[in-house]
Structure 1
């Protein structure tokens, strides 16, 4: 580009930005053509990746069968913040990742990542915001790559429950990695131990998960409490019976043991009460660390036990929850039944 053309381009840029160039002011040594050439070179070298985004009708999309979100569990309540954000902006800001479909008269795309965005835009369309479209980023990828991309995008999201992620991993283990847990952990760049905890959650039988208000309430820490209880047949049957009892009582009182931590403790207590006399070693030598005893009627923590050593227990009674002699006697009975069960 000649000096005159360069001066004209620089002057035009300054006029547009509202900056008046001064006579004799030094100008940057650049050219429009060189800028474009450098940009194209960066793209060609792979340093810069360009993506195509499209605004489409959400009704022309379906969820990919390997998607890790429980789409049926989405509602206005758990998508409220996203809906309000899109409504305030007048559009969706972050694109969903999709794949194009061919020879499908009903749908043009399948959603790999972005179920909540799809649900939220669909809700807005159905509630007088037809002008808001679904922003997508079409990509070409195989199923295993789609699985990894979906996992990577959603791994840090707090709105994806441990249970949803666990079920997704169990499905992916068989579908993409032929049951090889180490291979799957390597491909996802996670440890086998980390992956194993999620698989344990996904494998919890329905006879256990029914004790919780929803399987989505179960966290990894609860699995660590429950898994040892269902290893052998005797304690497993006790857990199943306790879970059935909890579910039955909650059907009569919806506020009964609604906190997942209280449910896990109740299952532990059931095994300790029913089978403590069969496990003299674990009764006489409790694990070090704090455990809690909860009241059967409402799941409230009433006794805290800290096993300082195999011969020493530190017991704390929660007086705020023990307002009468009867309640204190109940707490003492639960404590003695747990550590000094009646011999049969």
Structure 2
């Protein structure tokens, strides 16, 4: 290798590997250093090493990505209490937010993941803790990559509601996947049925959502009850009328109204159940399924197979648990909870 090429490679590698101070440069040592830099570049190129810088910044210089999946305006001291207490106990924010660098007069970063951390740090700085700074990890991401990273980070978090995630999925369907539910499910490494339930939740009429005392209590497990009664025009009109009545009564401060999501659902279903029964049209006969054709493998966010739904009949669901497949117990428990919500709604 010519001395000119060596110099170029050394300059390129120095941007990813800090040079050791006081290091001697002997004729034999130079080959080792160059080999180390070559290895470092190869690791970065292969993805074995991730070089994402972290910084402590002023949260006022960060703005929320307009397609962020959390309702920032709905955050409050109560919803962020656990995180605020954790930052106070540790003296700092432990987990960095994921941001993109931007160049605007008022902002330096765009927040992809970490809106709740941003709200908490901002609140602390405004309430006698100006020393607390916002820890961020800077990445170079496309919008579609930003959506998937945000979804993966928040999927296992209980503080992000199903409704917020569902609305985010509905927006992403057209923005990144051309309206293809199949392509979206493939990119998220989830089943189409799983994605479909979230999309159904996001498509609930606004009047129905507003009927709930706390819309963020709505879950994908509730879709199995609500979706069927919104199909026919007659049932839909009854449900919408009752939803508007509940909303107006709650706004007027009336008492004796449903206090939570299950009670609200029962009230909405009651207006359909009280209507005169209609004769159901016979369903067309379905072709029998081949054995194993309805098996679905559920994966972890990292792509590890957790369990397989082998089939279902009148008595129940049969599944195989891949307890030695490399996934964690927490991931398996989350997958089982999703299955219970789907097949055995509360």
Scaled to the shorter chain, the TM-score interval is: 0.5 to 0.7
Where 1:137 maps in the other structure, the secondary structure is strand
Change (3 A) 1:134 1:201: same
Where 2:158 maps in the other structure, the secondary structure is coil
1:210 and 2:210 correspond? yes
Distance 1:156 1:280 in 2: 40
Change (3 A) 1:257 1:36: farther
5 Å-filtered alignment, 1:116-127, equals 116-127=116-127
RMSD: 2.5
Q: Partner residue of 2:244?
A: 244
Q: Partner residue of 1:91?
A: 92
Compare CA radii of gyration and give the structure with the larger one: 1
5 Å-filtered alignment, 1:72-221, equals 72-102=73-103, 104-221=104-221
Q: Partner residue of 2:230?
A: 230
Q: Does the 8 Å contact 1:169/1:199 carry over to 2?
A: yes
Q: Does the 8 Å contact 1:209/1:215 carry over to 2?
A: yes
Q: Cα distance, 1:239 vs. partner?
A: 0.5
Distance 2:218 2:97 in 1: 28
TM-score, structure 2 as length reference = 0.68
Q: Does the 8 Å contact 2:97/2:135 carry over to 1?
A: yes
Q: Partner residue of 1:60?
A: 61
TM-score, structure 1 as length reference = 0.68
Q: Partner residue of 2:20?
A: none
Q: Cα distance, 1:279 vs. partner?
A: 4.2
Q: Identify unmatched segments of 5+ residues in structure 1.
A: 1-32, 283-307, 309-344
Change (3 A) 1:273 1:128: same
Q: Cα distance, 1:245 vs. partner?
A: 2.2
Where 1:105 maps in the other structure, the secondary structure is coil
Q: Does the 8 Å contact 1:250/1:257 carry over to 2?
A: no
Q: Does the 8 Å contact 1:68/1:164 carry over to 2?
A: yes
Deviates more, 1:260-269 or 1:68-77: 260-269
Q: Cα distance, 1:261 vs. partner?
A: 0.6
Q: Cα distance, 1:268 vs. partner?
A: 1.4
Q: Partner residue of 2:299?
A: none
Per-residue CA distance 1:56-102 (angstroms, 9 max, x = gap):
00000000011000000000000001001101111111100000112
Q: Partner residue of 1:303?
A: none
Q: Does the 8 Å contact 2:214/2:261 carry over to 1?
A: no
Q: Partner residue of 1:45?
A: 43
Q: Does the 8 Å contact 2:169/2:198 carry over to 1?
A: yes
Q: Does the 8 Å contact 2:214/2:260 carry over to 1?
A: no
- Structure 1 runs of 4+ off > 4 angstroms? 33-40, 279-282
Per-residue CA distance 1:243-280 (angstroms, 9 max, x = gap):
122223333335620210111112111101024x3247
Change (3 A) 1:68 1:75: same
Give the number of aligned pairs: 250
Q: Cα distance, 1:40 vs. partner?
A: 7.9
Q: Does the 8 Å contact 1:238/1:274 carry over to 2?
A: no
Distance 2:87 2:143 in 1: 29
Per-residue CA distance 1:127-177 (angstroms, 9 max, x = gap):
011111000001111101101110111111100000000000001011111
Change (3 A) 1:185 1:91: same
5 Å-filtered alignment, 1:19-30, equals none
